[in-house]
Structure 1
Amino acid sequence: MEKSLILALVLVLGTAVAVAPCRGYYSGAEPYVPAPKKVTHLHFFLQDIMSGENPSAVVVARPNVTTASNDTFGSVVATDDLLTIGPNVTSGVIGNAQGLWVSTGREVSCLTVYMDFGFTVGEFNGSSISIFSRNPVSQTERELAVVGGRGKFRMAQGYAQLKTYYVNFTTGDAIVEYKVTVIH
């Protein structure tokens, strides 16, 4: 009986001590009010080059399967693609997209993409947006999710509308137009 009384007393006092600091911590604090959100629209072209002596995208892993209906399924590609103002690589580089894409479509060509789009000039120099989404590349137009960012795009969310501008299925080279709406 004494042991249970002592245990009850320890539990009650322990709870009181644990709660007391919490009240003091919050007592003078102002209520959290999130900063107003800003909407930014970005427009650029991604230059994804898998051919030639200096590709910007390279296969880093392939599955060891020979019976797959799609021989690219399961391939992992690392990228460091240029972002340009226009569709030509000479139109002006504004940054690069570094990350990975994995061929995840067995029947239809589809990629799962994680890339960080870092900007190196202008108002957003040193900032980036992160995209992690399914990319059904067999569709000419598609939408991907913006899930975060750095710098001026910290805590970003939004979406990117993609349109294939050019693709060469033999070499794997592609130019993709991005129209991105970022809420940050």
Structure 2
Amino acid sequence: MAQNFLPKRVTSLFLVLVVATAIYLAKAADHNLKETNLSLYFQDISAFSAANATVIPVAGIAGKAWTFTQFGTVFVTDDFITESADPNSPEVGRAQGMYVTAGLDGLNSLVMISIVFTNKEYSGSTLEIQGVSKQFEAVREVSVVGGTGKFRFARGYVTFETYSFHVPTHHAVIRCNMTVQHY
């Protein structure tokens, strides 16, 4: 009986050492993470207004109006992103992707956006944003699920706030506050 006891203890001790080493290495890797905080502005012009629209509906339920509150409506976007709320401020990138009105009640949209940076500091890098946005709340939070270039292995979150909305032209300025950890 004593012969079986020793190998079990050695195996258990070995497993504990492997798990402890894995935890230590994971924590050590986190110390190499950088945190970047950005505040950017999406210049969003809906298709209801002009030929220069940056957001347009492309699919929806047959016989139903394709609106932001109609379940199943799919929008594509290519918003330009600026340093400040002023649309004439320097452009730092593009927000390219899609929104789908995913809530039966029309309150939630599924957001899938790539932020493609074009400014000097982050040029060529991207951040990938995905999640459910409660589109009629003052502040909407969505996950950063990845990135490329200077944002490799990015993770974090984004909050969206409607900064301004000009009804006649359907031009909305959306403030995008990002907190991102990356290598």
**Taking structure 1 as the reference length, what is the TM-score of the superposition?**
0.75
1:42 aligns with 2:38: yes
More strand by share: 2
Mapped to 2, the partners of 1:101 and 1:129 lie a distance apart of 16
TM-superposed deviation, 1:110: 1.8
The unaligned stretches of length 5 or more in structure 2 are 1-24
Q: State the partner residue of 2:155.
A: 157
Q: Is the 8 A contact 1:94 1:119 kept in 2?
A: yes
Q: Is the 8 A contact 2:69 2:107 kept in 1?
A: no
Q: State the partner residue of 1:12.
A: none
**Cα 1:166/1:105, change in 2 over 3 Å:** farther
Q: State the partner residue of 1:16.
A: none
**Cα 1:172/1:75, change in 2 over 3 Å:** farther
TM-superposed deviation, 1:104: 1.3
Q: Is the 8 A contact 1:108 1:138 kept in 2?
A: no
Q: State the partner residue of 1:93.
A: 91
The unaligned stretches of length 5 or more in structure 1 are 1-30
Q: Is the 8 A contact 2:165 2:171 kept in 1?
A: yes
1:148 aligns with 2:146: yes
Q: Is the 8 A contact 2:69 2:105 kept in 1?
A: no
| RMSD value, Cα | 2.4
Matched length: 153
Structure with higher Rg: it is 1
Q: State the partner residue of 1:83.
A: 81
**Cα 1:174/1:106, change in 2 over 3 Å:** farther
